């Protein structure tokens, strides 16, 4: 069971993120990446493609129909640290694979995730966190995630709804705000081998540039929310903001390499009631 030590917790509180290189093995990453061609080939609404190509930008809710990713969604190395920080059980607010395909992966503009979740989903407080797993080696060349350390301490910042830059609409921060924050905290881009894990605060300002390299930069994101902090509005479809608030029940640590039974509620498609939205 992965437990954060006092130094890691202090680092998270100060910088807004923790980077844990090589937390997962290459065999565990191979089990996941072996599924991606079939996932990206699906012609489904939960596969969002890039604006100027057919390359997948993001595959949402993969854990609802793919057994390997369903086991990852219950992995103690990802879930336990968040429960440790929040002191309570967590549920899956969002699950996605960001493809950032070689040559075709587009930018993700500067933003805060909680800003989006609070505005769109009426999540009450920033008691939700992203856990990211590198499925590929991440270098300075293939569009690494960029953070402004300490920017989470500024709380929710004013944002505008960008529906033009990419194929996925996002509440983004303006250049003046980013310049001010970066001049205070700088910019970092954690890089490392496949199997490395990032844990970062939902108010941490982050972005990524395009992938102009010949190397994919595929990443899994679990957005885990404290159960008591569940969303209050279903303005977005269920594959973007999950509506089941049951606490995650972790599997054993070897779950990526062992065939544990998992529930696959959307294996036959997204239920109609998950596509119904309420303003």
pLDDT in tens, 213-225: 999 999 999 999 9
Task: Let me know how many helices (H) and strands (E) the chain has, helices first.
Answer: 8, 12
3-state secondary structure labels for all residues of 127-181: CEEEEEEECCCECCCCCCEEECCCHHHHCCCCCEEECCCCCCCEEECCHHHHHHH
In this structure, are strands 197-201 and 128-134 parallel, antiparallel, or unpaired?
antiparallel
**Does residue 1 fall inside a structural domain?**
no
Give the whole-angstrom CA distance, residue 57 versus residue 143: 13
pTM over 0.85: yes
Q: Write out residues in the chain with pLDDT < 50, as ranges.
A: none
Q: Where are the alpha helices (DSSP H) in the chain?
A: 6-15, 26-33, 36-41, 67-72, 76-86, 113-121, 175-185, 272-275
Q: Are 218 and 99 in contact (CB under 8 A)?
A: yes
Phi, then psi, of 162 in degrees rounded to 5? -95, 110
pLDDT value at position 52?
Answer: 83
Domain containing residue 178: CATH number: 2.60.120.620
**Does residue 76 fall inside a structural domain?**
yes
pLDDT value at position 1?
Answer: 55
Containing structural domain, residue 13 = 6-275
- Please give the tally of structural domains in the chain: 1
pLDDT value at position 83?
Answer: 97
Structure tokens at 258: 């062992």
pLDDT value at position 53?
Answer: 87
Give the whole-angstrom CA distance, residue 229 versus residue 160: 24
pLDDT value at position 269?
Answer: 96
């Amino acid at each position: 069971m992965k437990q954060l030590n006092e130094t890691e917790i202090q680092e998270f509180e100060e910088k807004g993120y923790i980077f844990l290189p090589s937390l997962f093995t290459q065999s565990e990453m191979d089990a996941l990446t072996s599924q991606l061609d079939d996932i990206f080939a699906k012609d489904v609404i939960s596969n969002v493609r890039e604006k100027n190509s057919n390359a997948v930008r993001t595959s949402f809710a993969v854990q609802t129909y793919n057994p390997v990713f369903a086991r990852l969604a219950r992995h103690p190395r990802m879930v336990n640290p968040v429960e440790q920080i929040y002191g309570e059980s967590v549920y899956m607010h969002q699950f996605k694979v960001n493809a950032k395909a070689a040559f075709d992966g587009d930018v993700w503009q500067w933003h805060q995730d909680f800003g989006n979740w609070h505005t769109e989903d009426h999540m009450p407080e920033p008691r939700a966190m992203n856990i990211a797993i590198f499925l590929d080696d991440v270098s300075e060349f293939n569009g690494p995630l960029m953070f402004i350390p300490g920017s989470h301490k500024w709380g929710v910042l004013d944002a505008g709804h960008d529906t033009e830059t990419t194929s996925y609409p996002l509440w983004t921060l303006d250049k003046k705000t980013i310049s001010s924050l970066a001049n205070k905290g700088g910019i970092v881009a954690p890089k490392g081998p496949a199997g490395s894990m990032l844990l970062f605060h939902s108010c941490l300002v982050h972005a990524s540039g395009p992938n102009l390299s010949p190397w994919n930069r595929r990443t899994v994101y679990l957005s885990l929310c404290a159960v008591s902090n569940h969303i209050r509005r279903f303005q977005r479809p269920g594959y973007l903001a999950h509506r089941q608030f049951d606490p995650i029940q972790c599997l054993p640590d070897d779950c990526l390499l062992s065939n544990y039974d998992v529930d696959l509620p959307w294996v036959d498609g997204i239920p109609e009631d998950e596509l119904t939205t309420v303003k």
